[in-house]
Structure 1
């Protein structure tokens, strides 16, 4: 019995010593890995900074070249200006000398000229004056008008500059063998470009297409919180309501042709009727939960478009006047926006929310310009929409990422304040009527009315 106890004691002692040795060995390995980790940190950190400094150095070199070119170009233009100033001074001095000569001539000087003719001395001065004027005009025409030096950044620099606020240099993660992995600068830059492209360029994924047999031409679109779609039926003077699956639900009759429609709140919809100087207010009833025409408001202007910007209700008439309305449809304030066209009766201007809560977009149909104004009546930017042909843009709206959507009979495209263009859809044969678009930011969907081959469609796309 005693021998067995001693044997167990020896086995237990051996196990304990083995565990101790294993712990010491593990500690030695961990100390070795810690030493290697410190060395890896130093090496990798230095490599990161070297890559970063190389990138910054390259950017500095390119910027120095750009500023050097700008300096040389500015000097050249400045030299041109100095030459023009010198020519102007010489011209002014020559004219002053002629004026002195003319002043020195007696008023009734004797002349060998025939009666009624200008004295020869006055004739010489007049001839010299005309010659000076002709030479100066020719120099002025040859010099041209150089007022500034234009600088354009390379596309690569613009890409880097735009993605700096959300730039991700790389990712570090631990593997099973406790080694760190770092994404290279080249790889992280490529990933950054792809992320930027996804954030800036939208794509439309088809979701549904409704055949709208009840309407010949849709003149306005809005969507409620429960995804009920309201369409303006201009020719039949009413607004038609559809459920999220495209089933026709109800017709809201109006006293005049509806030009535009907008969801003002969860319970209120505005419908603009330009011909009779009226707007209709549709309100949601608490009893049935459906919308009813609750009020017809008489106005002093032919409002053709309406939108909600923040908490402000903005309405545009066909003369590009912008008014702020109350929830009851009454005029609160008029903005002094310069009219760029009188507004044709059949082609009204369109208004939409802007790139921030204090700006709005105005599509001026007459001159085909898209303008962005602040509530302080300051023009933020403008775009000429007469590119790629003479198609007339007829609709504009904005999504929650600030992308501007414009549509005409031939295409649907996006714009940015910098005029970056991305064509999303093209209609090869062209639409028969001017389309309307609406972006539902709650669902990230875009609604597009298309009148093709005698049929009216409402196409729904997912924005990605």
Structure 2
């Protein structure tokens, strides 16, 4: 009986593999009942199936959008995030403010900050968090009826650079690097901060941070180290990614399939990786010089990039 079941499982796996290859998938996840799992552990030659089904999609440049703000001041959009309804919030470093745009990239409102912002992330559908590194402060803002209003501030121990939602009101924060070490932290809704140091062999380096969709992995780019670091939520490093054609990595984001996109600011490209750090492709077409931040709208299958070569424009890409 057991041998017959093993043969059936082997046949099933063969059929799955053939379909899997036909789809051009990157990885596959197979859930089985507990009794079958026990049986499978007794047969080492069956093989192991893990991951999840994700079909590799094409990426095409859609357009370049010129952003018109409330005045003629030259912006530097160093951080960007999508809100509910596909509105956008951009952190304008040069003018110490954030700007709210509608889904057609038209100006709605702005809010002046006490210092130069570095990054911005969504906390929930109405709230965002902005990092102010020189003040070691996270500024929380509420967006309602087309207006931006401040709510609370949270002090951080180190300069806060990148920010990303970690779910349940928590914020993941990346710091600048000091004496060969970098720090990232989790800040709870109560304001309590948990620190996770790691070696990066560089100083005074900009960092950005993002998480996967299930908030179980943290990705941090360190531009002076020319590397992307991946951690679990307990601060253990899972891997470090670097490549000869990845220079000064800045913005980092994930799509709905948990693929990772890291912007090579110095190499004018984007490296697309699987969640475990396996390279998928290097995107060069349409990537502007001096690229900085990247963010995704999963509802639109679209991502965009800011840059400082044409600082009042953003480049929009579509996944097909």
2:217 to 343, 352, 359: 359
> Scaled by the length of structure 2, what TM-score is found?
0.76
Instruction: Give the secondary-structure state (helix, strand or coil) at the position aligned to 1:193.
Output: helix
In the TM superposition, what is the alpha-carbon distance from 1:289 to its structure 2 partner?
5.7
> Greater CA radius of gyration, 1 or 2?
1
In the TM superposition, what is the alpha-carbon distance from 1:366 to its structure 2 partner?
2.3
Q: Is 2:100 the partner of 1:238?
A: no
How far, CA to CA, are the matches of 2:76 and 2:157 in structure 1? Answer: 26
Deviations 1:192-219 (A, max 9, x none): 3343269353322344431125453211
In the TM superposition, what is the alpha-carbon distance from 1:281 to its structure 2 partner?
0.9
Deviations 1:162-200 (A, max 9, x none): xx598275xxxxxxxxxxxxxxxxxx68xx334326935
2:16 to 158, 167, 175: 167
How far, CA to CA, are the matches of 1:254 and 1:402 in structure 2? Answer: 32
Residue correspondence of structure 1 range 69-108 to structure 2 within 5 A: none
How far, CA to CA, are the matches of 1:424 and 1:271 in structure 2? Answer: 28
Q: How many residues align?
A: 275
In the TM superposition, what is the alpha-carbon distance from 1:422 to its structure 2 partner?
0.3
In the TM superposition, what is the alpha-carbon distance from 1:302 to its structure 2 partner?
1.0
Structure 1 runs not aligned, ≥5 long? 1-51, 57-163, 170-187
Q: Is 2:54 the partner of 1:196?
A: no
Contact 2:172 2:187 in 1 (8 A): yes
Task: Specify which structure has the higher proportion of helix.
Answer: 1
Structure 2 runs not aligned, ≥5 long? 1-6, 27-52
Deviations 1:205-259 (A, max 9, x none): 3444311254532110011102111111101100011111111111110000000
Deviations 1:117-171 (A, max 9, x none): xxxxxxxxxxxxxxxxxxxxxxxxxxxxxxxxxxxxxxxxxxxxxxx598275xx
In the TM superposition, what is the alpha-carbon distance from 1:356 to its structure 2 partner?
4.7
What is the CA RMSD across the aligned residues, in angstroms? 3.0
Residue correspondence of structure 1 range 294-333 to structure 2 within 5 A: 294-311=151-168, 312-319=170-177, 320-327=182-189, 330=191, 332-333=192-193
In structure 1, the residue matched to 2:45 is none
Q: Give the number of the structure with larger relative contact order, counting CA–CA contacts within 8 Å between residues 6 or more apart.
A: 2
Contact 2:226 2:247 in 1 (8 A): no
> Scaled by the length of structure 1, what TM-score is found?
0.54
Residue correspondence of structure 1 range 254-333 to structure 2 within 5 A: 254-285=113-144, 288=145, 290-311=147-168, 312-319=170-177, 320-327=182-189, 330=191, 332-333=192-193
In the TM superposition, what is the alpha-carbon distance from 1:269 to its structure 2 partner?
0.4
Change (3 A) 1:339 1:223: same
Task: Specify which structure has the higher proportion of strand.
Answer: 2
